[in-house]
Amino acid sequence: MFDSIAIVGATGAVGKIIRQLLAEREFPYKKITFLASARSAGTTIDFAGEQHLVEELKPEVFDKIDLAIGSTPDPVAKDFIPWATERDCVVIDESGYWRMDPKVPLVVPEVNPEAIEGHQGIIASPNCSTTQMVLAMKPLHDAGKIRRVVVSTYQATSGAGVAGQRDLQEGTRAACNGEEYQYEAFAHPIAFNLIPQIGSEKHAGYTSEEMKMVHETQKIFGDDSIKVCPTCVRVPVNNCHSESILVETEKKITAEEARELFAATPGIRVVDNLGAGEYPMPKDCEGDDATFIGRIREDLSCDHGIAFWCVSDNLRKGAATNAVQIAELLVRSAAAV
């Protein structure tokens, strides 16, 4: 057990869910600290029936903290994590800053729990779109070794933060009323629209979000031979990312075999009855920690392909839940020593 834990970015959308999960899952600790920017410092948070003062994120606050879970922008993570590790505090980081550092394990507990062994004070949680995809890939990779993945994402506005959700709600209201609206998070209207760009232009016509899915997937599986072709699209959905995924394996896997593999995998829930109109949809998956899979079928264009539809709450399994599960993994691994 960690005696003293902290949530960094405790007042944000993901920080709020981390707080809920720690309470619901009865995570073991003796003392908890809530940290945020100077703007939020001094406010109070209700946690486990008690009021807690939010403290400002400064180096000295980590002097007596054993474990921190951070959900902050990359520049904040770049600065505060060295403060913490220099003081022997282990950090689980939700930002993108440390993910591809070769010394930092990138972990989805259901996929590569062994990666936490030998960590050097930082454990990274993947990008939300990567997390649900690699969880879905895991049983297929174990059974037939994945050669190639083609994925198109349908990413909710919550992935762009509170401003993204506000853009969807207020932009839609304005569009319905024939009014103008000044978008905050998006360069184009999201109301009644799709935006086929998430992140900046990065490599060979791919965006930064798309290249994250390539590099993070290969790192998590420890296999650079897995080819990933992603297209990331922002859609007018408030929460939960959806993905259309096609995997090509070395060994043929039938649709029925894939369905059984998915159903037997912790963290995955199969909803797959096309005739009855049953398949995962964002409105049904919000607030759930599972990754939902449906529309499972064999690829008509190659002999060893499986296509499926995947939906997950990007604020939960895509962010907060995965971080808390890493913390629980650390507790279990310490208990086993």
Encode pLDDT of 292-333 as tens digits: 999 999 999 999 999 999 999 999 999 999 999 999 999 998
**pTM above threshold 0.85:** yes
Per-residue pLDDT reduced to its tens digit, 68-78: 999 999 999 99
246 pLDDT more than 60:
yes
Are residues 307 and 325 part of one domain? no
Are residues 326 and 288 part of one domain? no
Are residues 187 and 273 part of one domain? yes
Are residues 241 and 187 part of one domain? yes
Task: Note the pLDDT of residue 1.
Answer: 65
CATH for 189: 3.30.360.10
Structure tokens at 285: 């998956």
The number of folded domains in the chain is 2
What mean pLDDT comes out for the span 58-66?
A: 96
Cα Rg for the chain, rounded, in angstroms?
20
Task: Note the pLDDT of residue 333.
Answer: 84
Nearest CA to 89 among 56, 113, 122, 126?
122
Q: Where are the alpha helices (DSSP H) in 42-182?
A: 74-85, 128-144, 161-176
Are residues 255 and 164 part of one domain? yes
Structure tokens at 23: 């309470």
Interatomic CA distance for residues 56 and 61, integer angstroms: 8
Task: Note the pLDDT of residue 251.
Answer: 97
Catalytic residues: 128, 241
Task: Note the pLDDT of residue 49.
Answer: 87
Per-residue pLDDT reduced to its tens digit, 182-224: 999 999 999 999 999 999 999 999 999 999 999 999 999 999 9
What is the extent of the structural domain holding 241?
A: 130-314
CATH for 325: 3.40.50.720
The secondary structure of 153-212 as a DSSP string is EEE-GGGGHHHHHHHHHHHHHHHHTT-----SS-SS--TT--B---S-EEETTEEHHHHH
Are residues 73 and 20 part of one domain? yes
Task: Note the pLDDT of residue 337.
Answer: 39
The secondary structure of 248-260 as a DSSP string is EESS---HHHHHH
Are residues 246 and 298 part of one domain? yes
Are residues 177 and 102 part of one domain? no
118 pLDDT more than 90:
no
Interatomic CA distance for residues 107 and 221, integer angstroms: 10
Are residues 256 and 170 part of one domain? yes
What mean pLDDT comes out for the span 264-281?
A: 98
Per-residue pLDDT reduced to its tens digit, 125-136: 999 999 999 999
Are residues 332 and 295 part of one domain? no
Are residues 147 and 11 part of one domain? no
Per-residue pLDDT reduced to its tens digit, 23-57: 999 999 999 999 999 999 999 999 988 999 999 99
Are residues 153 and 33 part of one domain? no
Task: Note the pLDDT of residue 286.
Answer: 97
- 2 — pLDDT class (breaks 50, 70, 90): confident
Q: Name beta bridge partners: 309.
A: 244, 294
Portion of the chain with pLDDT greater than 90, in percent: 96
What mean pLDDT value characterizes the chain? 96
